Structure 1
Amino acid sequence: MEKIPMTPAGFTALESELKMRQQEERPRIIAAISEARAHGDLSENAEYHAAKEAQSHNEGRIAELEDKLSRAEVIDVTKLHGTKIKFGATVTLVDEDTEEKRTYQIVGDMEADVKLGRISISSPIARALIGKDVGDTVEVMAPGGARSYEVVGVRFG
């Protein structure tokens, strides 16, 4: 059983989603199925089929969340330190071509969101950064071609 690294915030977000799906979404869908069932003939009842599909999707997501939470390895990034890049690090990079500065936090797959500056530990850029130090240059094969970044900052917490 492979452990899934995640931050405490990521773990809490998954727990919240699981609770919402079990305590709010599940009863809402059951009520919709009951109401649609009351309309009679199920073979041509679009509301019934839509509600059953929503139930299937919700139950699948609940199972996925329960699996991820049971395999979670919560890593408290506030207790980490040093200058080497590892899981949980917030890294500041400078694109060597455009001089554009970017900051990313390396997080678990389930909590990654590039718009919020959180990249997955399994992403190409994160894999290239792991083990590097401030001042190192990193070559990353991105979808748009090779990019070169200089690490200008590493912090935790």
Structure 2
Amino acid sequence: MKKKQIIVSLHDYDILKTLCYHAPGSDKLREELDRAVIKKGKVPDDVVQVNSTLQFRDERSGAVRNVQLVLPAASNIQLGKLSILSPIGTALLGYSAGDVIDWEVPAGKTQLHILKVVNTPAAAV
């Protein structure tokens, strides 16, 4: 199955590409960035970017989660701050509200349905 192209702001792309060079376990993120459409201007408001707050449903378990996608240093799952390097964090990057993503997580294959993107601070950069 061909994956949908994802959208990443130039600002996020630069930060994440650098992160990939220094962080172990960033192979999946590097793959996602290699297929991304890089936006130099404003990214649509419903696209998941670094620092976006969003709600998604894991279609396998039915669990609905509210998270903020953050860089690894700011991650704290108890506070809902999901690292971009986590399997789910990497999966969500660049997709839009309404998208369903097939993704491999440590527990097996799942589908993540993005229900809404509350804000995208990086989109204004």
Query: Into which bin does the TM-score normalised by the smaller protein fall?
Result: 0.5 to 0.7
**Correspondence for 1:117:** 80
- 2:117 maps to what in 1? 154
Let me know the Cα RMSD of the aligned residues. Answer: 2.1
Comparing both structures, which one devotes a greater share of its residues to helix?
A: 1
Q: Can you list the C-alpha shifts for 1:33-82, whole angstroms capped at 9, x where unaligned?
A: xxxxxxxxxxxxxxxxxxxxxxxxxxxxxxxxxxxxxxxxxxxxxxx871
Find the aligned partners of 2:102 and 2:79 in 1 and give their Cα distance: 23
Q: CA deviation at 1:122?
A: 1.7
What is the alpha-carbon distance in structure 2 between the residues aligned to residue 119 and residue 97 of structure 1? 19
Aligned residue in 2 for 1:140: 103
Q: Which has the larger radius of gyration?
A: 1
Question: What CA distance in whole angstroms lies between the structure 1 residues aligned with 2:15 and 2:49?
Answer: 15
Identity %: 27
Structure 1 runs (4+) deviating above 3 angstroms are none
Following TM superposition, by how much is the alpha carbon of 1:125 offset from its aligned partner in structure 2, in angstroms?
1.2
Kindly provide the amino acid, as one letter, of the partner of residue 116 in structure 1: L
Number of residue equivalences: 81
Structure 1: where are the runs of 5+ without partners? 6-79
* 1:1-157 equivalent positions in 2, closer than 5 A: 82-156=45-119
**Which sections of structure 2, spanning at least 5 residues, go unmatched?**
1-13, 17-42
Q: Which stretch of the first structure deviates more once superposed, 127-136 or 93-102? A: 93-102
TM-score relative to the length of structure 1 = 0.46
